[in-house]
Structures are given as structure tokens and as C-alpha cells.
Amino acid sequence: MSENTEKRAGKKSLTTGMIIVLLAGGVLAAVSCRDNREDDRKPGLSRKSTTTKAHQDSCKDAHKPERVFKDLEHIGETSPLAIAGGVAYFAADDKLYAVNLKTGKVKWKQNAEFASSWSKPFVTDELVCFGLEGNGYYLYVLDIKSGEIRWQRLVGRFVIGPLTLACEKGIIYTIVWRIYAPGQDIVGLDIRTGKEVWRLKLEKRLYYWHSPIVADGTVYLSLTDWDKDQIRLYAVDIQSRSPRWKASSINDDAAILTPAAGNGIVIFAACGDGKVVLHAFRPSDWTELWNYETTLVWKTLPTIADGKVYIFSGDGQLYALDAKTGKVAWKAESSRYMRFSPIVADGKVFHATGDDYLRVLKADTGELLWKVRIAGVRYSQIAVVEGKVFVKDDEGILAIPLH
């Protein structure tokens, strides 16, 4: 084979199934699509690519990233994006930001002593709430139009994983340390004023590792009883303030991540020795339904949606478990170094990998639908809003059409 022939063959192999797109604004993205006629779920079969040029062109046009915010301030790594009303809210570099995605301009920014965050802001019609990490964990609540700080409060000393903002009917539920007394309590804070409107006192020997969550009028959390070497699972009815708890069989040396609730189950992820064990419970009586062990990916939480539980594993795979049985429904290539949990929307699973790919899978089968390589997307949580995927890259924020 001649040298020119080899070069042409090599060039052809590099571009098969991959479209390199240089977009206006300097965005370099590589869009790769699967032909929907090709069955990727049959292991061991060699499949000849049937991707046509027309299919590649339609894929390129369908998922072409658009620059909606150009970062001129070199903001760098941010919290997950919360998007509402065409505005993106996030925390970064000791500042809190609101960016108008239609104009690409910063609507407002506010200084904050602690603006490092792995937590997604919570947005209402009037307010935006940030959970921030510094010398402790803080809540900052700002006016959504002006960015003026309405109130702020220290709510915790130590949390494993992101500070989850549990809010229902205008009340934020969190754990706070008592002033001038040992121990901590669960409190409900009015999001408009920061005033305490609800409190459940906990026994002083009980300690927490994670943020509580709220689902269907119930606060869920786990507490470690170091005197009895056990982990208690709590379900607290908000209206009656009556706790229902049970000592679990979870290893009391484990660090428990923020739970996940959905599909009639509550999942607690217990971490230790480089492993994570998912424990799925029926919250009505705390019966353990199943458990599943895999290697740990730090600070990523399970996602429950549409009858499945999605979890990243340290073996570089994304697993989908049946929510009823805990059995593996499918697994798909991902990355060993993940920062945020997968997002499920529109029958698809979205996740960013350590090699800077945004991957989109079919939620029911795990089939790869398309992927796009974007510099810096590994540090971004994904937001899916009104038919678009929003991600933070090295130069700002991109919007990618779903269809």
C-alpha cells in the first residue's frame, strides 16, 4: 500500500461515525452518533456500521452546541447549574451568579464568603437558595431579581457529599447544631425569612453524615448512634413531627451519603474501604428490600427514576438497577472519575465523563444515542430544560438541542 493510500485509509478510520465541528465562538466539539437501526445490545456480534452521510449530517445539526454565555471573567469551576426563566444560577469563586442565557450577560453577581459548592441551587418565583461549603455548611438565600442577600445561616459542620437543599412548600429542612449545647436537631426554615418554623429534637448521642431529603411530606435521614454502634434510619412526618425509625443492619463504621427516594423506596448509600453498598428500604416499615455493592465514586449519589436506580461505579461503568429487585438491568461505559450524579429526563440518561464527553443513553436499555466532546464538561453537572441540555465548559455555558 502506498504512503498516500495509507494516509487516506487512516483518515477514513478516524472519521467513521465521528463528526468534528468547529462552531462559531470557538467551540470545538466532536459529535458521535449511533445509527438507531444498529442493535448495540447484542454482545459478541460484529456489527457493520450502516451510518450514512445523511444520518451523520442530521446528527450534527441536531446536537450542535450553541454558546449561550461567554465567560469573560474566567470563573472556572462552578456548582451545578439551576435554570429557570431563561436564567442560570450557580456559585463559583466566592461569588453567586445569575446569567441571562438569552442575552449571554451576567444579570447579577453577589459576593459570598463561602461560594465553593457541589450543590444545585434551589429556585422559587422570588428567591434562589444556595448551599455553600466553607468552614462549615451555609445557606444563602437571595432575591431572584436583584441578587440581594435576604438571609444566610450556618447549618452544619460536616457533611459527606453535597449539601442537598430539601425544600417543600416554602420550608427548607436541614440539620443544625445546637448553640451552647451538645447535639443537633432537624429544623425547618422559612425560605423567605430564614426564621425557624419547625424543629425536631434529636438525642444528643446521635450524629449525622449527610443532608436530609424531603419526599411526599416526609423527611428522610440516617443517624449514627455511637453508643450502641448502630445506624438508625429515620422517617419524620412533617405534619405530625412524629419520627419513625429503625436500627438498620448497615455497617456502623460506614459513612452514609444523602439518601434518594422514589418509586416507593428510599436508598441509603453506605461508603467504606473503597466500596459503596446501596441499601433499598420500604419506608413504611423500614424493611430492607435489597442491597447492591460496587466500588465507590466519591460524592456521586444514586438517581431514582422510572423504575430504575442509576449509580456510577469505580470500574468505569454506569449501572442501571431494577428499583424493585436491585438486579442489574444494564450497564454502560462511563468513567472512573465522576463528579456529579446522572440526570434522567425525556426517557434518556445524561452524564459527563472524565474524558470530557457528554453522553446520552436510552434510559430503558442503556444504548448510546449520541455523545459530544466538550472541553471541561467533566466538571459540569447537566441541566435539561425545555428540550435543551445545558453544560458548563472551559469558556462558559453551552446549550445543546435534544432533538
The per-residue pLDDT for 225 is: 81
Mean pLDDT of the chain: 80
The per-residue pLDDT for 257 is: 79
Ranking 22-36, 211-225, 245-259 by mean pLDDT, the lowest is: 22-36
More confident of the two residues 20 and 192: 192
- CB within 8 A of 245, min separation 6: which ones? 223, 232, 233, 234, 235, 286
Ranking 214-218, 229-233, 281-285, 291-295 by mean pLDDT, the lowest is: 229-233
Residue 298 pLDDT class (50, 70, 90 cuts)? low
The per-residue pLDDT for 2 is: 46
> How confident is the model over 197-213, as pLDDT tens digits?
999 888 777 777 777 89
Confidence check: pLDDT of 183 > 90: no
Domain ranges (residues) in the chain: 80-147
The per-residue pLDDT for 149 is: 95
> How confident is the model over 319-369, as pLDDT tens digits?
999 999 999 999 998 877 777 889 999 999 999 888 888 999 999 999 999
Convert 304-340 to b/e letters by CB count within 10 Å (16 or more is b): bbebbbbbbbbebbbbbbebeebeebbebebbeebbb
Confidence check: pLDDT of 31 > 70: no
Element (H, E) at 276: strand 275-282
Ranking 22-36, 84-98, 218-232, 288-302 by mean pLDDT, the lowest is: 22-36
Strands (DSSP E) contained in 51-208 are 66-70, 82-84, 87-92, 95-100, 105-111, 122-123, 127-134, 136-143, 149-156, 166-168, 171-177, 184-190, 196-201, 206-207
Confidence check: pLDDT of 43 > 60: no
The per-residue pLDDT for 392 is: 86
Identify residue 108 by its one-letter amino acid code.
W
- CATH: 3.75.10.10, 3.40.1050.10, 2.40.10.480, 1.25.40.10. Which one for 80-147? 2.40.10.480
DSSP 317-350: EEEEEETTT--EEEEEE--S---S--EEETTEEE
The per-residue pLDDT for 243 is: 87
More confident of the two residues 402 and 103: 103
Per the structure block, which three cell numbers stand in for 44? Answer: 459478541
